[in-house]
Structure 1
């Protein structure tokens, strides 16, 4: 194997493949897909089974070996040749952002309609055929990557040897409104856990919201930090790492006479800017749409939960994994894409992502970790889907948060054992 680089624990190689933008039109325009092959040192020439890793998202690049926390990778390399796919539009694949998308909003929206799980799976199949021909490979899907894995089981199960899913069993039928009606109470529960651990932060958060309402506070990019943008820092409350990092961020909020510190503002900017992940903002609601439009579901459903209101002097509660239309007014990386985002939110012809009949007849060995208190993926939706996939073994646990796969190698270890009938 020709290596792109070596470092302790990893030997890596690059793979780039030209694929159709629209797999229904293979003779049409194309984009590039990038994937990084990773193997344990000394095993470069071994005939190892392949494991495709599908990252969470949508719109997040794949794990970077040695740079991202990924306890699972060392476990996987004990017996697999791992392929880290930058899903279309992310990382080193042909980028999709304000700098590269068509300037015409309608053209940009039409382009992005090909960036959901169905297209990602078809990209993966072309990669598989290029790398190992007719041999099937294994897939590991984390979070949204698990959604993609279920789509894989629906569209191309012949390409799979086995499937592992962590925190990513989607509802097969729920639309965006149902997803967010279930999500907001879980976010409130995560807030309660947070403020129970850090009760003093309630006053700090209220003070910051009041300060932002009374002062024109600017982020490092010159944009104003509004109270509602600050409120989106709850996105990380479902991760065991980010849960505590929020507290350490708030510790550094004020400096001097009621002034927000530069340290705080720089870290907030890194959290609230969608410059590294515009697809996340553009398509997050669309991943739940099958024959329906989202019509800015998270914003509409928010009105049903007054606990998140910022006015008055009551307790402030952070919002979670929700995208709101005003993001495209306040974030410079998203502002040029506002009309495109509106078109995507109103689009009704999204094709189906799951084949219920095929899943009911599934023969691919599969196992899924369902995190009991997962803030991002509804437990009940996941268990309904587990019941609908023949042969899928499910492990329900409250030992881990949504990031259990990256936090502890035992998560993947258990799933492998489940698929093999060892536990």
Structure 2
């Protein structure tokens, strides 16, 4: 419950903010005020009515933010979504200095890390295309491996560009790669063309299915009813994307095409680089759903990708990032040695189901319902397993495939799941701020 003291502070800010804007000859077009708490931290949100203002960049200048903070007496940040201000009315909770990827992370879901509001998990399709920026040693490469690790676990196909040959050498020749890892700009271009060709192939498969599917999930559901090929998602990772784009300018048009086509066909792209220039960000702006910015060179660069403040992240905080969706996030750590031997983690209930299927391996929705599963869960599980090649269809029934039995018979290499340390408070995250 928000205390009366905090309410009085919020009322004072609401009174003074329009005055500060008016001093700068800006329309004080505050749409409304919202006083709330995030993980126990009180914040005041003041979104702007953008229909009543001109030249929005004047409302987002660093100079104005400094003046607002000085006159109201509390830290102020730009809202990460929409346009407006967020006032911090208390100390932010501690973020861990390191957060190990949890073994219990749900499959078919992307686990990003730990934010101010707790663990961040979302569906692959909700993550969308991703822009990742960060200097050497900031945690960018580890984050790319985190995404790839989960893609491998979830049975996705991969297209990887690794010009420095330092991020994904352990995946050379992996069975889930749709093409060899690109190690030169020329091969990177071919990789993008391969992704576009995969979109072409999937477009043809979509046309053959009755019902006009608009998404990969819709297609797989309809294809399952017709006994047609199910399609896994594809993750395309373009590391050192700026070097690729500079050496081959014609790739930018292909990237734009891949961005809008990939959404429908389940082909997701990660654009990663140390630096994103203005002319690079332009073509990507409409394609990217999520921006993750580790320590970068300049404030201008951070603002360019909508991650203001990332330039001030301490070099002592690898893995810490500013995002345009969740604010500050300590991204999960996954050791690179694990990527070569990724094994899906099945729940005890799923393992028991395979064991109950016995040597014959016959499974069906009615049988799973008989074993205590809901019909919806049974259908969803079997559809996912069929897509992964873990079960094969035999008429109206399905049978456990040898691929799944092999997974269950191979011991997994346990990953560290130690409890994250408390780390430092928010003020210590940024170098030079106390």
For normalisation by structure 2, the TM-score amounts to 0.28
Bigger Rg, which one: 2
